[in-house]
């Protein structure tokens, strides 16, 4: 334990090895919502960074703060009546600009141009009353001083780019006339019309069939290669993560419990929650007559986050570290090696032993 806390203190706040490379940097982000029942701590001290051309996947259960994080980066928490009910602190740096303290106008100028978002449900994210083309034209003309005609040409070009057949015709279609996959493509076209440098995709394929999902993931990957944007992909599907991510950030109870390069996370995950996620997944590539290994219990309440390690009530190894530390001290992120960080009180030896001996053979 003593050894652990020393390393923890020495590292403290993780910073990227070369800060200038990071295009997006989030430092100690907190997003709290005061309610009648108490303060909902949706995001409670989250830090990460992302370079251009890279994809970061944020995984976790519903209510772990994934979507709240993405909305915070987009500056969408402060809009309208919602703005009065949110407390944000920390820093979000995007290409050298700080967003948490920026004025709504400044953020609005960046939104859509520097950073764009793809939502999970394209039917509710698009306006049912306006033609697809008009919605893309609007997104383009907000940031470019061009005529409607030029913008329309651009919209058709984008629809073509995302693989919509007969774009010149479909540009005048309404969202309800598109199938789910086509709608998602149209939304990607809308998000990319201004060549944003940061693309946030919040469960972009969850509502889609696997065949369409494969198409959309391919599309996101191709477009990223073409435009060199940074992509934050929020998902709960570890299959999608393995398919597309460079780095993975695992969230639990509003905090990061583990993050690292995708290979490391799948090969030697260091947090019991990550083990639980991997054990919960039925695999298509293996014969599995064994039972799944679920994470027991329910996700924590974000109003009364469990003391100490937020995962301790569900963690099968919570009693392993001595001195009740899991229930009293909140673990900080510690470097495992390289870019691999994990917030767990278990000693590195214990973690390696449990993973290689108990968990990995069962997956």
Partner 1 sequence: MSDTNKTDDAVIPQQASAPEKASEEREVLLKVEGLEKHFPIKKGILQRQVGAVKAVDGIDFEVRKGETLGVVGESGCGKSTMGRVITRLQDPTGGKVTFEGQDITHLSTAKMRPLRRDIQMIFQDPYGSLNPRHTIGSIVSAPFRLQGVEPEGGVKKEVQRLLELVGLSPEHYNRYPHEFSGGQRQRIGIARALALKPKLVVADEPVSALDVSIQAQVVNLMDDLQEELGLTYVIIAHDLSVVRHVSDRVAVMYLGKIVELADSTKLYESPMHPYTKALMSAVPVPDPKRRGQKSERILLRGDVPSPIAPPSGCRFHTRCWKATEICRTTEPVLLELRPGQRVACHHPENFADQAPQDTVLLTAAKEASELVGEAVLEEDAKTPAEPAAESEAETPAEAAEAPEASEDSTVAAQESQEPTGK
C-alpha span between 98 and 91 (Å, rounded): 7
Q: Please, which residue, 213 or 342, has the CB nearer to partner 1?
A: 213
Q: Is 285 in the site for partner 1 (CB under 8 A)?
A: yes
| Binding residue (CB under 8 A) for partner 1 from 194, 215, 270, 334 | 215
Q: Please, which residue, 76 or 363, has the CB nearer to partner 1?
A: 363
Structure tokens at 300: 């924590």
Do the bridges between strand 230-235 and strand 87-94 make them parallel or antiparallel, or are there none, so unpaired?
A: unpaired
| Binding residue (CB under 8 A) for partner 1 from 79, 146, 150, 360 | 360
Closest contact distance (angstroms) between CB of 102 and partner 1 is 34
| Binding residue (CB under 8 A) for partner 1 from 78, 109, 236, 330 | 236
Find the largest Cα–Cα distance for the chain: 70
Q: Is 288 in the site for partner 1 (CB under 8 A)?
A: yes
Positive or negative, the CA dihedral 323, 327, 329, 335 is positive
| Binding residue (CB under 8 A) for partner 1 from 53, 90, 180, 316 | 180
C-alpha span between 94 and 199 (Å, rounded): 12
Q: Is 302 in the site for partner 1 (CB under 8 A)?
A: no
Q: Is 303 in the site for partner 1 (CB under 8 A)?
A: no
Pattern 118-157, partner 1, x by CB under 8 A: ----------------------------------------
Structure tokens at 132: 């697809």
Across-strand partners of 91?
Answer: 27
Q: Is 287 in the site for partner 1 (CB under 8 A)?
A: yes
CA 318-323-325 angle, to 5 degrees, is: 55
The helix, strand and coil proportions of the chain, stated in percent and rounded to the nearest 5, come to 40, 20, 40
Stretch that binds partner 1, among 14-22, 34-42, 273-281, 341-349 (CB under 8 A): 273-281
Stretch that binds partner 1, among 113-121, 188-196, 233-241, 315-323 (CB under 8 A): 233-241
Do the bridges between strand 97-98 and strand 230-235 make them parallel or antiparallel, or are there none, so unpaired?
A: unpaired
Q: Is 15 in the site for partner 1 (CB under 8 A)?
A: no
Q: Is 36 in the site for partner 1 (CB under 8 A)?
A: no
Closest contact distance (angstroms) between CB of 59 and partner 1 is 9
C-alpha span between 342 and 335 (Å, rounded): 7
C-alpha span between 147 and 144 (Å, rounded): 9
Interactions with partner 1, residue window 237-266 (CB under 8 A):
237-243, 245, 262-263, 266
Q: Is 278 in the site for partner 1 (CB under 8 A)?
A: yes
| Binding residue (CB under 8 A) for partner 1 from 181, 196, 254, 260 | 181
Closest contact distance (angstroms) between CB of 343 and partner 1 is 18
Q: Please, which residue, 128 or 361, has the CB nearer to partner 1?
A: 361
C-alpha span between 160 and 154 (Å, rounded): 10
| Binding residue (CB under 8 A) for partner 1 from 25, 61, 203, 247 | 61
Query: In degrees rounded to 5, what are phi and psi of residue 187?
Result: -70, -35
Structure tokens at 75: 């500056």
Q: Please, which residue, 61 or 114, has the CB nearer to partner 1?
A: 61
Structure tokens at 13: 């706040």
Q: Which H helix or E strand runs over 350?
A: helix 348-353
79 and 72 in contact (C-beta within 8 Å)? no
Residues that bind partner 1 (CB under 8 A): 61-62, 165, 179-182, 209-215, 217-218, 236-243, 245, 262-263, 266, 276-285, 287-289, 291-296, 298-299, 356, 360-361
């Amino acid at each position: 334990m003593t050894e652990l806390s020393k390393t923890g203190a020495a590292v403290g706040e993780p910073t990227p090895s070369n800060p200038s490379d990071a295009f997006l940097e989030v430092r100690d982000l907190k997003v709290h919502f005061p309610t009648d029942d108490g303060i909902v701590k949706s995001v409670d001290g989250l830090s990460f960074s992302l370079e251009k051309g890279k994809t970061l996947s944020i995984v976790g259960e519903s209510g772990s703060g994934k979507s709240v994080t993405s909305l915070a980066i987009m500056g969408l928490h402060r809009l309208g009546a919602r703005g009065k009910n949110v407390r944000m602190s920390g820093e979000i740096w995007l290409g050298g600009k700080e967003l948490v303290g920026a004025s709504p106008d400044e953020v609005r100028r960046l939104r859509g141009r520097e950073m764009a978002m793809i939502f999970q449900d394209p039917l509710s994210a698009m306006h049912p009353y306006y033609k697809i083309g008009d919605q893309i034209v609007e997104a383009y003309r907000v940031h470019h001083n061009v005529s409607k005609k030029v913008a329309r040409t651009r919209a058709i070009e984008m629809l073509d780019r995302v693989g919509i057949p007969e774009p010149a015709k479909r540009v005048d279609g309404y969202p309800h006339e598109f199938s789910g996959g086509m709608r998602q493509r149209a939304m990607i076209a809308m998000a990319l019309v201004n060549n944003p440098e940061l693309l946030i995709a919040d469960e972009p394929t969850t509502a889609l069939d696997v065949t369409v999902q494969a198409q959309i993931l391919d599309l996101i990957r191709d477009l990223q290669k073409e435009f060199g944007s940074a992509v934050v992909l929020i998902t709960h599907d570890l299959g999608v993560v393995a398919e597309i991510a460079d780095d993975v950030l695992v969230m639990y109870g509003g905090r990061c419990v583990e993050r690292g390069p995708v290979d490391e996370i799948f090969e030697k995950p260091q947090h019991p929650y990550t083990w639980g996620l991997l054990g919960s997944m039925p695999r298509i590539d293996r014969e599995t007559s064994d039972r799944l290994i679920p994470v027991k219990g329910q996700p924590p309440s974000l109003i009364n986050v469990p003391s100490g390690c937020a995962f301790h009530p569900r963690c099968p190894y919570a009693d392993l570290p001595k001195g009740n530390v899991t229930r009293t001290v909140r673990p900080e992120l510690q470097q495992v090696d390289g870019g691999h960080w994990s917030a767990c009180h278990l000693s590195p030896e214990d973690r390696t032993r449990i993973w290689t001996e108990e968990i990995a053979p069962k997956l």
